[in-house]
Amino acid sequence: MTVYEVFRRERKGQPFEHAGSIEAPDAAFADTWAREQYGRRGESDALWLVPRESIHEITEWADEFDLKYRRVDGYSIKARLAEARERASVQGRGA
């Protein structure tokens, strides 16, 4: 028996989303089974059946360096902006 992960797409152009899994002895059975469980009501435009063991999953991420400078959350401008505005208002606008 093989476990297949089932991904379904509602409409063309949309992403495939994980829907569930089925267990089947072969691909033909998996095909019938998946149609019955995930497409019977016309709720899917397409299905992907992927043997679970064929999925190469990545969940571990190296985080040795602080790489925040590449991201929005690496910049906190609020306090600095307030300070700059304060300074400008004390000194008067422009020169």
Residues paired with 3 in a beta bridge: 23
Question: Could you give the C-alpha distances from 46 to 20, 24, 72, 77, 78, in angstroms and in order?
Answer: 14, 19, 36, 46, 47
Least gap, CB of 31 to another protein (angstroms): 13
Give 41 or 87: the residue with its C-beta nearer to another protein. 41
What is the smallest separation between the CB atom of 54 and another protein, expressed in angstroms? 13
- Give me the residues that bind another protein (CB under 8 A), please: 1, 3, 18-23, 25-26, 29, 36-38, 40-41, 43, 57
DSSP state of 12: T
